[in-house]
Structure 1
Amino acid sequence: MPGARLVVLPAALLLLLVALACWGPWRRRGPEAPPGLRRDLERRRRDLSRLAAAIQARVSPPAAAGRAIGCADLDGATGLSLVGCGITKVVLRAVLPPPGGREVALKSVHGSGRDVTGCVRRYGHPGGCRRLAAYKLLKEMTLLQSLEHPGIVKLYGQCHDSSANPAAKITTILELGRPLEMIELLQTPWEKRFKICLDLVELLYYLANSPLGSITLLDFQPRQFVMVNGVLKVTDLDDVSTEELSCQTDKDCLLEFPTKTFSLKCMHGKCEGINEQRNLFNAYRYFFTYLLPHTAPITLQPILKDILNATGDLRYGANETLRAFQKVLHLYKSGLYLQKKPSHLKEYIALRGFHSGTAEDYKCWPSYSHTGCMLSVHNAEEAADVCSSHPQCQRFIITPQKTWTAQIPTQTKFTNAL
């Protein structure tokens, strides 16, 4: 990237310098933006300045986590491919050259996206419209440098090509994740789906208690999340709010969704808890409803139903929701979820270290394997109970593979070969 240089600075200072570059007298001259666009740009600049001031006042500078990736590191990057694009940004996958060689996501302004093209139709000023869209990247970059949680994608660095139109050539370099495929998730074992919901609840608890106060994801959609090494992470933070809605009476605190409307309390001029509650209800309608109850262990289903009802009616806050999920996790990991009934284990003969020949497997759903029946069980007794309930099952093989719950449960293969 000829002429590019990396600016490695604290988030707030980087933000102010780039904003000045957009508006300062040394910026590249061109046709003056129309008054309406100038007002929009000034509004975005003020919003970023307020965010920078809030971060300086409330957030401790992050500890150094190694050298940031910059423009020079992008020279010689290979494997460029499109990951996705939205109304403002486009995301590419890239493999950095040695010695790093890691896969990263490159996020930049989407020149053909609806934000830019709509702005150009309105104002007829492509350069100013790209700068306006770039403010969203700057906001996201600032937040990513200030918030730290396993459920938020990591910011590895940024590249500002100062030889180009100021602020129009900003690229953020991020942790690469795999986009969520909800149809695929619906076909996965319950344990995996529960983990995704638990990851989300832990993230929402952090956002409700973040160093910047309660943060709400205004554009809460499954497409805003990715999977990174089995962990659910939010990847878009440009459309968030760190301010609770201002109000004069309770009537100003309506939280409206397509199917439900909630009335919250106006306390000290702010709609109390509206950011937290918006996040929770969106988690309920986009994630919990589809991923949480189906094929769950029978004894856990009443607790899961309570969680669904409480979040769907906004009776739980982030704290209560997290405690409920932790209770389910404890019951599952400890084996207390297992029903008390006669053991079928005595009907089987244990063969240790026995390796069979080719086995003709049958398929079951949901399964960890697409070619056979691979389920997680807590112990051999549960495996015997599962095998006895499957007409095709003749034996089961307890493998050394563990699931995300660490020591237990184990993955067990069920076959129809003796």
Structure 2
Amino acid sequence: MSLRRMLFNFRLKKPLMAIGVSILLLSIALLYHALMSEDSVRSGIFSLPRENRRGFRFQSKMEQGIDENGLLIQSANELLLQEEMQSVQERDLLSAEAKEAAANFLSQLYPKKWSTATETDEMALELKHLLADFGLGGALGCRDIDQMKLGNTITFSRTKTLEFISKEDFSNDNSYDQGYNGGMRVINNGPSMALKTFSGDSETKIACMKEIYDPEFCEVMGNYRLLRETLLLSILHHPGVISLKGYCLRGNRLAQRLQDKGILLLTESGSPLTQSITHSSNWSQQLWMALQISRLLMYLDRSPVGSLRFNKLDLKDFVLVQNKDLKLADLDDLVPGEKSCSSVSDCEHNGKYFPCNKGHCHGLNSHINLNLAIINVLSLILSRPQTGSGGAAKDFVKRLTKLEFDSTAAVAAEIQELLKQASPVRPIVMKESISVNTPRKKNYGVESMNQANLDHDSQQKARDGESVVFSSGAVSQFDRYNRTNFPGIFDYPCSGSRVTWGCFHTVSSLSEVATMCVSDPRCKCFITFSTKPESESLMTVVMKNSSGLENSRSSSGTTLFVLRSGYINREDDPLKQWESAGRDSHKVDEAKQIMPVVGRSTEHHAGGRFNDNNSRDLAVNDDEDEENAEDKSYGDGSKSFTEIARCLDDVAQSMKSAYAAREKRLMTHLGLKGTKELAWRRSAQIQPLEGYSHLVKNSDGGGQFTINLTRPEGGPKQAARRVTFIAEDGPGSYHMAYAVIYHLDRILGIYHTPPCVVRELSVESVKEYQKSAAWYELFRHIVSSDGTLTGILVPPTPKAIKVSKMILQPLDVMVSEVIPFERQDKLQLEYVILWWIGRMQKKHKDHLGYKGHLIHFHADKAFTNTSVDLSGYLNHCQFPNVVYKALNCFRCEGENGPGNEICSLGEEVALRATTMFPDELELYLHQMQEDDIIVSIDAAATAILRLVNKCMQTFGRRNVLY
């Protein structure tokens, strides 16, 4: 009975229990909703993990530049251009809470006292949570970056290293191809980016050590710079600021492996802005660059975190991105907030006073930024104002350099007016198909475009940044002559030229340079530094003011276009007769009689065979226009740069083991056993330098000395401990000659030249070294105007290296039977190949090596003997297969297939060598201009290829190649 009663009572209570549970769940839901609706960040504390909240400090309610309502304080730039202000407002997508949190955290990244500063690994973790909570930063994280491949080092400083990085798999095993082609290749399957990492900061370390003697603590304080940049790039969204692609914040670790590094900052890549770029730009392009910088300065005065001020600003802080946009890439010298003040007297700068408003100097940052930009950047960019326009351009530059402008907006407005009056030129446009990582020559592809003769619609398109199609009819007004040049004569200065003594430009097509030449009454012809100009999308050209063909010279890397003007009677044209005669093989002797090579003695002809090279098939149909010319196979037959790059990539893949073995042998004999060349190069570029020793005077233009490299505490493993610094500018030795031989060596896969990297000695280092009278006397003539010294670092010559005897001897005639080479013979033949192509003067004491492996330690003396002929060594009919495959990539393509001539090897070598020295306009070694060096390299390589092919025809490929 009692059980029945219990069940009955339970049935009555069941609905009541259900109602109670429902009410409880509803209450919990409403409470949760109420809690989530509150402003969780109004006190400056947001959803960090509990273990990190103690270290996260947002004590101040607001920072400078933000008023009590969370709005930006108005700056001195009240004249901000309406269009720019609108674009800034449209990009300002941060919430007030995000701005406040970012501004407060940013202030903590500028410690007033290092002794009380938070450790950088803790700050990195806090920044990581801040960016995650507000959805800031790039799309790529640690895992994505760790899976990428590092390429070449873009630049380095005392605080940071900047390297190319890409999702593309650079799978070649040899370090040269990874280190050079990995970041500077012509073929790009995907866009490369720039990776910025901490490399040590001695300045910050010293400042920290003065306050607290803790080397381990102070060693990594320089990471604050990277943390600042990470935060700033996450919140500054403007066309004038480099785009952040991703970041990785996992402490303050210093390491060599990418996966072990602590702070990684990933941005879009670009070409550093140098004076060679600004000098190669015409007036309109210079104005466009200046306008972009002016607009950036105005944005920084109204940034989401308030007004920002530069501590330092230089050309090298900017890059050209995607071949067109000028962007600020180095942000760690930006400081937030206006200067604190108690009266107007605290707000003085260069004799000018600014109002003290609410405890801060209102407008001071803008004034300081403008002055820094004018002195260190704009005055260098606007170096050659355009004549005409009533002198407005010159007057503007004069007032600018005298710092007569009161606001950045006024500067920007006047630049806009000058752009309307200037020649209608599309500013700083680079073709999308050309990677910024593969600059052609030294101007990184900045176009020099003269469109004065275009119609009004085309001019307006150029002003608006639209594409302008140049008339192909201009090309039809020129006669074409393959492999012909006027070196050193008929030059004249022109506006926008890369050099002062001639009319050098970089163009995107044949029609463009033809249009330029037709519109210039002084231009009678132009030369392209390409043998296939119709297929190039970017090339260097030079215009000449005369076309006397009797003064022409053969040049394997160039093409001459002569304007038809009645000056030359085409029927009586000796060069046309020479080409016509050369079309038939039985008329070669006749062709030589009609048009001999002018201006070169027999010592320049690769042992008397150079004339034959240039009397080959040169079929040209003068009546064909540019459209038909693209499909025509010219007698020159050189491959495009894209074809060459693909071929070299294929060779590198097929010869992996050979390259790796040769690299290992070279590094071992240099005393660097177990060290990869790439690791040595990176170490030499970023390790701090100590004092010098073993000063050696090589010539009147510089010398070399030994420097010890140090390893920062906790830094990556040292691959280089001692290096030789070489800075020479003739007359007997050139450090740029060393770079030429180094790249020639690696392209051919020989590995008989020590590796080298470019390094700039800082102003402080130069001042320290100049305390020695001997050092000062040796290098004072080649120290740059800014107080730095640029040279190359190479491994020092080990003590085990001795003068070696040449066992291999040259033969007068080809052997009747091939005797396979022993190991030492092979090594010495490869040494000879580089000796010949590099045109070096060698004495018995100059043959240095170890166990038969001869090494070119004196590559800085290359091209001192242009008459050298080492063909006798090839009469043994033995040749390295790795070199033969590389040479095949540069064989000229004729109508019947590959020929026996080399095209574009010299141009490829010159391109790679000059890429190392962006401030140099062109190679100039031992009175040889760049085109002379290119011709010399191609001529020697052609002679070698012909001898090898003759041997293979006689004895077979298997018996000749090893």
* TM-score normalised according to structure 1 size: 0.67
Indicate how the Cα distance of structure 1 residues 366 and 352 shifts in structure 2: closer, same or farther if over 3 A, else same.
closer
Indicate how the Cα distance of structure 1 residues 22 and 169 shifts in structure 2: closer, same or farther if over 3 A, else same.
farther
Instruction: Check whether the contact 2:163–2:196 (CA below 8 A) recurs between aligned residues.
Output: yes
Indicate how the Cα distance of structure 1 residues 191 and 42 shifts in structure 2: closer, same or farther if over 3 A, else same.
same
Indicate how the Cα distance of structure 1 residues 101 and 382 shifts in structure 2: closer, same or farther if over 3 A, else same.
closer
Instruction: Check whether the contact 1:151–1:232 (CA below 8 A) recurs between aligned residues.
Output: yes
Aligned-residue offset at 1:39:
0.8
CA RMSD, Structure 1 to Structure 2 (Å): 4.8
Partner of 1:139: 228
Instruction: Check whether the contact 2:375–2:401 (CA below 8 A) recurs between aligned residues.
Output: no
Partner of 2:302: 209
Instruction: Check whether the contact 1:368–1:375 (CA below 8 A) recurs between aligned residues.
Output: no
What are the residue-to-residue correspondences of 1:93-112 with 2, within 5 Å? 93-98=164-169, 101-111=190-200
Give the 3-state SS of the residue equivalent to 2:477 in structure 1.
coil
Partner of 1:356: 479
Instruction: Identify unmatched segments of 5+ residues in structure 1.
Output: 1-11, 25-35, 340-349, 401-410
The answer to whether structure 1 residue 155 and structure 2 residue 229 are counterparts is no
The answer to whether structure 1 residue 305 and structure 2 residue 395 are counterparts is yes
Instruction: Check whether the contact 1:160–1:170 (CA below 8 A) recurs between aligned residues.
Output: yes
Instruction: Check whether the contact 2:160–2:199 (CA below 8 A) recurs between aligned residues.
Output: yes
| Distance in 2 separating the partners of 1:15 and 1:194 | 47
**Structure 1 residue ranges (4+ consecutive) displaced by more than 6 angstroms after TM superposition:** 12-17, 42-46, 380-385
The answer to whether structure 1 residue 255 and structure 2 residue 255 are counterparts is no
Relative contact order, CA 8 A, sep 6+: which one is greater? 1
Partner of 2:635: none
What are the residue-to-residue correspondences of 1:327-366 with 2, within 5 Å? 327-332=417-422, 353-358=476-481, 362-363=490-491, 364-366=493-495
Give the 3-state SS of the residue equivalent to 2:238 in structure 1.
coil
2:218 alignment partner AA: C
2:373 alignment partner AA: A
The answer to whether structure 1 residue 279 and structure 2 residue 369 are counterparts is yes
1:354 alignment partner AA: Q
Give the 3-state SS of the residue equivalent to 1:108 in structure 2.
strand
The answer to whether structure 1 residue 246 and structure 2 residue 347 are counterparts is no
Instruction: Identify unmatched segments of 5+ residues in structure 2.
Output: 1-43, 57-112, 170-187, 255-259, 426-450, 453-472, 528-532, 535-540, 548-562, 564-962
Equivalent of 1:219 in 292, 296, 312: 312
Instruction: Check whether the contact 2:153–2:164 (CA below 8 A) recurs between aligned residues.
Output: yes
The answer to whether structure 1 residue 193 and structure 2 residue 286 are counterparts is yes
Partner of 2:118: 41
| Distance in 2 separating the partners of 1:74 and 1:300 | 58
2:410 alignment partner AA: E
Aligned-residue offset at 1:164:
4.9
1:416 alignment partner AA: S
Instruction: Check whether the contact 1:373–1:414 (CA below 8 A) recurs between aligned residues.
Output: no
Q: Percent identity?
A: 21
Aligned-residue offset at 1:38:
4.3
Instruction: Check whether the contact 2:141–2:246 (CA below 8 A) recurs between aligned residues.
Output: yes
Residues 62-110 of structure 1 deviation map (CA, whole Å, 9 limit, x = unaligned):
6x97x32534433351324251113x32323333335984322222222
Instruction: Check whether the contact 2:314–2:377 (CA below 8 A) recurs between aligned residues.
Output: no
What are the residue-to-residue correspondences of 1:46-125 with 2, within 5 Å? 67-75=139-147, 77-81=149-153, 83-86=155-158, 88-98=159-169, 101-111=190-200, 113-116=202-205, 119-120=208-209, 123-125=212-214
Residues 355-405 of structure 1 deviation map (CA, whole Å, 9 limit, x = unaligned):
4112756443455577855499x9x99977742xx4xx33689x99xxxxx
Aligned length: 355
Aligned-residue offset at 1:208:
2.3
Partner of 1:175: 268
1:232 alignment partner AA: L
1:225 alignment partner AA: F
Residues 100-124 of structure 1 deviation map (CA, whole Å, 9 limit, x = unaligned):
8432222222225432355357634
Instruction: Check whether the contact 1:89–1:113 (CA below 8 A) recurs between aligned residues.
Output: no
Instruction: Check whether the contact 1:225–1:233 (CA below 8 A) recurs between aligned residues.
Output: yes
Give the 3-state SS of the residue equivalent to 1:276 in structure 2.
helix
* TM-score normalised according to structure 2 size: 0.32
Instruction: Check whether the contact 1:127–1:168 (CA below 8 A) recurs between aligned residues.
Output: no
Indicate how the Cα distance of structure 1 residues 61 and 324 shifts in structure 2: closer, same or farther if over 3 A, else same.
farther
Give the 3-state SS of the residue equivalent to 1:196 in structure 2.
helix
Instruction: Check whether the contact 2:121–2:251 (CA below 8 A) recurs between aligned residues.
Output: no
Give the 3-state SS of the residue equivalent to 2:229 in structure 1.
helix
Partner of 1:347: none
1:198 alignment partner AA: L
Residues 317-345 of structure 1 deviation map (CA, whole Å, 9 limit, x = unaligned):
1222111111111122569xx99xxxxxx
2:269 alignment partner AA: L
| Distance in 1 separating the partners of 2:116 and 2:232 | 24
| Distance in 1 separating the partners of 2:389 and 2:380 | 19
Aligned-residue offset at 1:283:
1.5
Larger Rg over CA atoms = 2
The answer to whether structure 1 residue 326 and structure 2 residue 419 are counterparts is no
1:85 alignment partner AA: S
Indicate how the Cα distance of structure 1 residues 78 and 118 shifts in structure 2: closer, same or farther if over 3 A, else same.
same
